[in-house]
Structure 1
Amino acid sequence: MKRVTAHRLRRYGFGALWLGQSLSLVGTQIGTLALSLVAVIHLDAGSDQLGVIRALQYLPFLLFALPLGPLVDRKDRRRLMLVADVARAVLVAAVPLLHVLGLLSLWWLYAVPFVLGVFQALFDSAYLAYVPQLVGRERLTRANRNLQASQSAADLGGPGLGGLVCGAIGAPLALLLDAVSFAVSAVTLALIKPFRRTERPASEAPMPDTPAPAASAPVRQAVATWWREVREGIVFVFRQAELRALAVETAVFNACEQGILVLYTVYAVQELRFSPLLLGLTLAAGGVGALLGTFLSERASRRLGLGRTIVLGSVVGSAAFLLIPAAAGGRTAVFAVVCLGFGLAGVATGISNVLQVSLRQMLTPDSLTGRMTASLRFVAYGMVPIGSVLGGVLGSALGLRPGLWLLSAALLFGPLAIICSPLPGRRTLPDRPPTDGHTKALERS
């Protein structure tokens, strides 16, 4: 009988994770478009109301991302992801059910995305911490490239497929596909054989010189320990110059891009008179570019250097959005220019994202990966609600197209954080993550 090696178990485990995530990402793209169309078409939502819906979906990253970091570093990350998938499947399926029962209102579209965002924050923090644990650091870049390729493929096919499905069966029922994709992801996670972590948080290490807490203060002690672990993640990110630069750049990009997407959805439907299919195809152009960029990332990094490639991707990916409000002329010309804008942005961000994720993971020891991810998610995704609300406000106050111009120009401030950091001079990824001793020295510096 053949012996099942650890390498083979890792490979099979990653295959299951990759399959489940690939299907889930396509479902999420369909669900995101369907939810927006439910609000705009079925409930007559304007840009400000759509902005609130988008903001509520990302607000949990501001409220819960940091507290979830220690949980991810302490508990079984695979089980946390599984719980999040099951919960999201139930929540998304509730929207078409409410529609069929005649109970769907904007208030439900405010509540469901918010709770959905709570479990999204949990899944994302556990997911990015689980990948290095599952595949090993030596195969990390290739694993991230494959996962990013699935994200890009979903960006490519999801919106167009979502437009077709929404046109065929209606946006509310299209959400069922998203619910099913979460359920499939949960099944694939359940199939992965669990294994013991080889490293645990320093906060869990025994401290023989520390007296046991008084029986009357267990809650206070637990809160103090939890906050200390949260603070360790924040300090690690913002005292590491490269991580700090990536956090600022991503925060600016996410805030502005989300505001742009809020405005563009309404702009495309109401002013450009795009059908759901055309709207989906323009968004899918970004997926085409991102898929191409994903496979170019390693080659570009070898030729230009890791830091310069990330800088170039950030600059081009931000500037490309200016083509969206600049598009003018007949419908065909406008459609072509908008697709070009999303496509160029996709290529640039696809190249940059693979390298950024790998760099973050290789700069962080396993015992801090969950808290590092949670801290970055807090900063980066925490800006999304602000961008969503800002996009809605700008659309109402200035008009849809002027709002698009303003937010597209503001995107260009993000790359400055990377340009002014040590990152442009970095040629390659670190050979290995820092040790906990190095991390503690960094925290004291």
Structure 2
Amino acid sequence: MTGSLTLADPAPPRRPRVPRLLRQAAFRRYWSAQTVSLFGDQITMLAVPLLAVLAFGAGPAEMGYLTAASLLPNLFFSLPAGAWVDRYPRRRQVMIVADVGRAVLLLAVPLLWWVDALNLPLLCVVAFLIGILSVFFEVAHSSLFAALVRRADYVDANSLVNGSRAMSHVAGPSIGGVLVQVLTAPFALLSGVLTYLISAVFLARTQVTENPVPKGSGRGMAAGVRYVARSAVLRATLLGTTTLNLFNYMFAALFVLYVTTELGVSPGLLGLIIGAGAVGGLLGAAVTGAISRRIGIGPAVLLGFVAFPAPMVLVPLAMGPQPLVLALLFAAEFVAALGVMILDIAVGSVQIAATPVAMLAVVSGFRRTVNYGIRPIGAVLGGTLGAAIGVRPALWIASLGALLGVLWVVFSPLRTMRTLPES
């Protein structure tokens, strides 16, 4: 028997798989805007405090005022901003105005510096005004997200957005530090100006039919608070995250002090550990979609409530030779960053799905008010407890206490929830 063997044409090289959502031009532009804006936030968060220290010799009290100026808008404006945004039909426009406004305010800093008119009180005013615009940007984001993304894609879309957030936490401070070193702190802020303007351009080019404001909507702040209080799912996630934030900020208030003074880790090594550990956030963003499909969205929320705070116990547990201490600190940072991504993506998807479109902004504003309001309380409690009983015992209380947040979710419908809830 004779014959010939015909060789098949070589297969073309496989292209990297692009997530389906990123093939959609509208979502791709929205995601790009979010990504660039997040990097702008990180650069600003580093450059403004460095400017206060390097240019004005700000001490602990002045740095406290500056930090408070940037955080206070979350407490005082989140809820009213959300109520207003729910009544305004063009949420994308709100985000564009917020981006342009933040760019203008940041641009004013190097200009005032150039004419020798900048001082610390003015810098605090700029930080406060940027904080207000950031609140409007964030509360409008939920409504635009719901208009762009199909319900079935909430988890995947949140994974992409939070992946950008994780990447900004890894690379943003490094980029900001280099820019401050090369350009000086005032002019490093010009890169923040650029990121906000690029974000505004991406949003302006995002074609989306926004959800209309239904008749009877926009009943105000009280309606948003009542809705969260009556929703078993939203109530459980808010109480769980608030409990977790309380103990997490108790922990955060003592972490750097404990690691540098009692464990003897240099600031440079600590920075490397935190930066390397943050890579866990990228991994968390990559695997959360698969996890939630495998075990269900509710169990994924439960997993996040445990995986985020549980690694904190490695910090007060760390002792012995420095290589072992550094390994435990890295493991704590890496696994906690992975856990917080699972938690943020799963909880964020559940909260959007469980909220009526007409109330997305006000409910988001209420959550920000509570969650940001508890943070300074946690920090003060942590410092007070550390002074009273010692830093290491206080860290044990904070790290174990953070696990209590999961109890709110265990005794809620989320425990057995396989798919996203209905609003």
Place the TM-score, normalised by the shorter chain, in its bin. Answer: 0.7 to 0.9
Query: Quick one: distance in 1 between partners of 2:339 and 2:22?
Result: 34
**Does the residue aligned with 2:220 lie in a helix, a strand or coil?**
helix
Q: Give the superposition deviation at 1:400.
A: 6.8
**Does the residue aligned with 2:362 lie in a helix, a strand or coil?**
helix
Q: Work out whether residues 72 and 125 of structure 1, in 8 Å CA contact, stay in contact via their aligned partners in 2.
A: yes
1:293 aligns with: 284
Equivalences for residues 2-401 of structure 1 within 5 A:
11-39=24-52, 50-75=63-88, 76-98=90-112, 105-193=119-207, 195-197=209-211, 199-203=212-216, 228-258=219-249, 260-261=251-252, 263-264=254-255, 272-275=265-268, 278=269, 280-328=271-319, 334-388=325-379, 390=381
Give the unaligned 5+ runs of structure 1: 1-6, 205-225, 435-445
CA 1:320–1:95 in structure 2 vs 1: closer, same or farther (change >3 Å)?
farther
User: How many pairs align?
Assistant: 401
Query: Quick one: distance in 2 between partners of 1:399 and 1:107?
Result: 35
Q: Work out whether residues 254 and 383 of structure 1, in 8 Å CA contact, stay in contact via their aligned partners in 2.
A: yes
Out of 413, 416, 423, which is 1:425 matched to?
A: 416
Q: Give the superposition deviation at 1:131.
A: 0.5
**Does the residue aligned with 1:367 lie in a helix, a strand or coil?**
helix
**Does the residue aligned with 2:209 lie in a helix, a strand or coil?**
coil
What is the CA RMSD across the aligned residues, in angstroms? Answer: 3.4
1:413 aligns with: 404
Q: Give the superposition deviation at 1:404.
A: 5.1
1:215 aligns with: none
Q: Give the superposition deviation at 1:196.
A: 4.8
Q: Work out whether residues 258 and 387 of structure 1, in 8 Å CA contact, stay in contact via their aligned partners in 2.
A: yes
Superposition TM-score, scaled by structure 2 size: 0.82
Query: Quick one: distance in 2 between partners of 1:305 and 1:358?
Result: 12
Query: Quick one: distance in 2 between partners of 1:202 and 1:79?
Result: 21
107-116 or 16-25, which deviates more = 107-116
Q: Give the superposition deviation at 1:399.
A: 7.7
**Does the residue aligned with 1:381 lie in a helix, a strand or coil?**
helix
34-43 or 107-116, which deviates more = 34-43
CA deviations 1:87-133 (Å, max 9, x no partner) are: 22233344445555555554345333322221111111100121011
Query: Quick one: distance in 1 between partners of 2:227 and 2:304?
Result: 25
Query: Quick one: distance in 1 between partners of 2:236 and 2:260?
Result: 36
Query: Quick one: distance in 1 between partners of 2:149 and 2:354?
Result: 16
AA matched with 1:302: R
**Does the residue aligned with 1:429 lie in a helix, a strand or coil?**
coil
Query: Quick one: distance in 2 between partners of 1:58 and 1:389?
Result: 15
Q: Work out whether residues 51 and 262 of structure 1, in 8 Å CA contact, stay in contact via their aligned partners in 2.
A: no
Give the unaligned 5+ runs of structure 2: 1-19
Query: Quick one: distance in 1 between partners of 2:68 and 2:57?
Result: 18
CA deviations 1:52-103 (Å, max 9, x no partner) are: 5334322222211111122211211001111111122233344445555555
Q: Percent identity?
A: 37
CA 1:164–1:14 in structure 2 vs 1: closer, same or farther (change >3 Å)?
same
CA 1:371–1:147 in structure 2 vs 1: closer, same or farther (change >3 Å)?
same
CA deviations 1:334-383 (Å, max 9, x no partner) are: 54433322211111111121111111111122112122212212222232
2:9 aligns with: none
Query: Quick one: distance in 2 between partners of 1:229 and 1:418?
Result: 27
CA deviations 1:35-54 (Å, max 9, x no partner) are: 34445565555666545533
CA 1:350–1:422 in structure 2 vs 1: closer, same or farther (change >3 Å)?
same
Q: Choose 1 or 2 for highest CA Rg.
A: 2
Query: Quick one: distance in 1 between partners of 2:95 and 2:83?
Result: 15
CA 1:234–1:122 in structure 2 vs 1: closer, same or farther (change >3 Å)?
same
Q: Work out whether residues 73 and 367 of structure 1, in 8 Å CA contact, stay in contact via their aligned partners in 2.
A: yes
**Does the residue aligned with 1:382 lie in a helix, a strand or coil?**
helix
Query: Quick one: distance in 2 between partners of 1:408 and 1:55?
Result: 25
Q: Work out whether residues 26 and 208 of structure 2, in 8 Å CA contact, stay in contact via their aligned partners in 1.
A: no
248-257 or 365-374, which deviates more = 248-257
